[in-house]
Every structure is written in C-alpha cells, then in structure tokens.
Chain A
Amino acid sequence: MKGPQRLEEQVGRLVTHMGAVFPGERAVFRGHDLHASLKDLGWLELYLFGITGRRFTPQQMSVLQAIWSYTSYPDARIWNNRVAALAGTARSTGTLGIAAALAVSEAQIYGRGVDLRAIEFLARAKVHVDAGEDLAELVRAVLKSERGIAGYGRPIASGDERIGPMMALVREKGLDGGLHLKLAFEVERILIAGRWRLRMNYAALTAALCADFGLSPREYYFFGIPAFLAGMPPCYLEAADKPAGLLFPLPCRVMRYEGVPRRQLRR
C-alpha cells in the first residue's frame, strides 16, 4: 500500500501502544495503568520508562539523576540560559522562555548535538575494539575526518569541573566498571599522549555511563533533553524580578560594524 491509501487508513484514528487517557476513568502509559502499577515511580524513572520501556536500578537512577543535576548551572551568561533570562527581562512568559532555552540547547558545540555525536562515537569505538582493532587508530581517523571528537575538548575552558564529582558518585554506586566508561578514559589517554591535548569533557563521560546502562544513542538523546532545565528558571526569575530591560543592556557602541560603506537606494 502506498500514497494516499496509506494516509486514508490512518484518518481520524490514533493507533498506539504508548498510551492513552480515558477521561474521567484512567490513563495507560506504555501498557501500564499510570495511577496503579506505575503510581510509585519517581518522575525521572517515569520519564526514562517513557523513552525506553525499561526500568533502571536504584544505583543507576541516582547516577542518571546526577547527570542532570551536575550540569544545571543558573548562570544567565550561558547561551541557552541567556534565552530564558532575556525572556524574563523582556517580560515574556516563563514557559516561552524556558521552552526556547531548551530548544537552543540542541546546539552543535554543546548540548544535544554533542551528546548524540559523543555516544555514537563511543558505540563505534566499542564495535571497533570488540573486533580486535586498535583504538588509537580509530581516534586518529576520526580526528582527521571529523576535525574533533565529540566529548573531548571544551569551547570555553580546558578542564571540566563536573567530572570529579560525577566519577566519585559513579564509584560510590559501584558503576565504574562499564566498558564504554573504560573506553572513554582510554580515548582521553590517547588524546593526551598524542599531540592533540584534548581532555575528556562531561559529554563523553555521561554518554559512556548511559551507554553502559544500556541506552541507545536515540534513547540517550531523549534522556538528555531536560539536562539543563533546573538552571533555567533561576535565570528567568532573577531577570523578571529586576526592572524590565536591565539584564544585559547593550548600548549602540557594543556593535562593531564590519559591512559595506553607506550608500543610497537607486530608483
């Protein structure tokens, strides 16, 4: 079946195994009654169950929770947070500001774009090593073809303050033995020993941990969507509490014009 017949079959109906609400009666979430068999799930557990259909151990849950917490910075200078803060100073709504800030978090040099590339690289590295190939060779090839490895190096700083606390928690929970995690550190060793001097950043660490917990790249991407969320409302709120327009005011002199000289429209 193709073309409009395929569309015709779906008119007016939602065929799903993900869930539905029966208003006034009950709600079903991935085949389970939300208010009965899933009623004791924490919010993050439910969020991950929605993405994967799977449950995670309490130790894994505390690491997954910390992955978000440790990267939630209420710093309104950071580009995505700044969007939330600017919405506050411009007296837009909290939801608009934060939804836009989350959308902006799908960036190429940080956030979701890096997350996906980092976990995909580690998955590739594991396949490579499992096949008995040399990891250093893959690192060299990726650096050559992609001019960098997602999860190594950082746009603003060289070190990453999140790695120490995260590894402490991972060790405390006994989750430091995963193969992807070992590979992530091995890649860092290769990069430091070589001429590249790129240190591992949080993206590679969290991608490795989540890969070790069984998340696919796609599942990891969805898990990461609210990663920066907790830092955003403070940015909005503080800006909204100040008089309008006082956050990052820009005088005309901040603009450095580098374009063509002045001219007139010819009619």
Chain B
Amino acid sequence: MNMETIHTRIWQEEPEPDNAFAAASCHCHGYDVYGDLLPNASWIEYLFLLFRGEAPSLAQARLLEGLALALANPGPRDAAVHAAMCGGVGGSPSASCLMAALAVGAGASGGAREVRLAMEDWLARGTDAALWQTGLAATPVDNPADVWPAPGHAPGFDPHGVRCTGPVRQTLAHLAGLGCGPSLPWLQAQRPLLESAAGLPLAMTGVAAAALLDLGFTPAQGEMLHLLLRLPGAAVHALEQKDYGHKKFPFFRVELENDPGPAGAGLKTEDRA
C-alpha cells in the first residue's frame, strides 16, 4: 500500500516557489484551470470536463445545461427536498440540510440510485424495443446481500403515476431535440410502448438516465451527477423554511395502531405526582 502518494489522472498542481502547500497553477485533464478555463469555459463545460476528461461539444454542453436546469429543483414535495427542509426548519447547519437531501435523494425510488439502475438498463438494452419490453415486464430482483433495498418498480418510471407529466414530457422533448446521442430521440419516439410495457408512465429519472447516457457518462458518474444537480433546489427550500419557521411547516396527524394508553391511567393522583 502506498502511504504517501495520491494518484490522479484529473488534477495536476505546481507549488508556489515558497510554499509546498499552495498551488501556483492547477491543470484539470491538461487544461489550465485559472489561466484558460476560467476566462474561456462555462461552468457546465467544466463540469463535463471534470467527469469525462474531455471538453464537451456544443451539443453536449447544451444537453448537460438543459438537464442541469431540469433537475435543479424538483420542488418541495420531492422527498429529498422535503428532507432538506426538515433540516432548515429546525435550524440545522446548511451541510446537514444538504446531507439530508443527498441521503434521501440517493434512493432507488425517485433518486440517484434509480437513475443508475435505469442507465444500467440502457446499457444492457440499448434501443432494442424487444429487450426493453421483456426487461420491463420482469419483476425487479431483490438481493438480500445488498445494502440497497430492492427497487419496487421499473427504474425510470413513476410508481404512482397515471400519465407522463408535463415537465417530464417537456424536458424529454427539449433534450431529445438537442441532437446529442441516440437514446433521447429513441425514448421520445418509443415512450408509449415502454410505458405500456412498464405499466407506468415515464418519470424524470428515466429522462435523466437517457440524457446522461447520451452524454457518455457511466452509470456511476450518472448517479453522482444526479445527486449533485438536484442540490440547488434542496438548498433554497431549506433556507426558505428556516425563514418561515417550524410553526408553518407540516407536522401531520399520527394514528398509532398499538397505543398502550397513558401509563398513569390506573394510578392514584399522588402516584402520578
């Protein structure tokens, strides 16, 4: 085991002449970050470069930009944003709110795990309608040796949906029109067939998986990006609920199915005291 070296293909630094702990220059995948990328690249191009190791084409940059916008805020009803708001409303540190959003938004139902699983499906099935129909008809398999609970539905589809929602259709139509990769246009054309095979409408996770695949990301990279790209909404809703305060935040009604009743019910008044 090497105890002292960090191997990296991503990052290269030269130290300041008088301080080994301060970088005089930083290169990312060969590009000078502060001398070349900062004046010449957009944030989304840099994000693509970081993950893929190559600068994006114009179409790729547009697609990642569009995906980032579509994912940035799933809104306060989303479980990950709800979790972040639970942090905000009690005055938890900002990082706690984002950690809450990450933990919940990591899941296999509506979260980054679902995107990863959907991307794995895409890699296995490509644009072969027959493979998709067979795969979607099969029940997801539980692996008891895995820390991840078994997915309860076909990844990329809405387990409680009735029809493909407006935002999902609009996102798919926009991203499919950007001319980058085969998956999104195929998904756009085959959506009714896939939805019928899954018995569920397409969800935003399904669109994200196709887009991430068309951008050349691996399922693991797609999972990471989905976690990252949804944080802005979690952040602002956490901050907003902190301002509103807990009295304006839902607490819900409890229905306890096995209530033993008050412990002191049979006691005398002096015992209770």
Q: Which residues of A contact B (CB under 8 A)?
A: 2-4, 6-7, 12-17, 19-20, 25-26, 28, 30-33, 35-37, 92-93, 95-96, 99-100, 103, 106, 112-113, 116-117, 120-121, 150, 156, 217-218, 221, 249-267
Contacts and interface: CB of A to CB of B under 8 A. Distances in A.
Given A28-B259, A256-B5, A6 B160 contact: yes
A37 B10 CA distance: 58
A32 to B, nearest CB: 6
A266 B7 CA distance: 27
Interface string B91-124: 0010110010001000000000000000000000
Given A103-B103, A258-B7, A13 B252 contact: yes
B145 A265 contact: no
Given A17-B258, A112-B147, A254-B4, A12 B252 contact: yes
B255 A251 contact: no
Interface stretch (B29-37, B175-183, B210-218): B29-37
Smallest CB-CB A-B distances: 4 pairs:
A36-B263, A259-B9, A251-B20, A31-B258
B23 A252 contact: yes
Interface in B10-41: 10-15, 20-23, 27, 29-32, 36-37, 40-41
Interface of B: 1, 4-15, 20-23, 27, 29-32, 36-37, 40-41, 53, 55, 93, 95-96, 99, 103, 144-147, 160-162, 250, 252-260, 262-264
B41 A265 contact: yes
A120 B144 CA distance: 7
A26 B263 CA distance: 8
Contacts of A6: 160
B145 A261 contact: no
5 contacts: A3-B162, A28-B260, A96-B93, A96-B96, A265-B36
Contacts of A16: 254-257
A13 B95 CA distance: 29
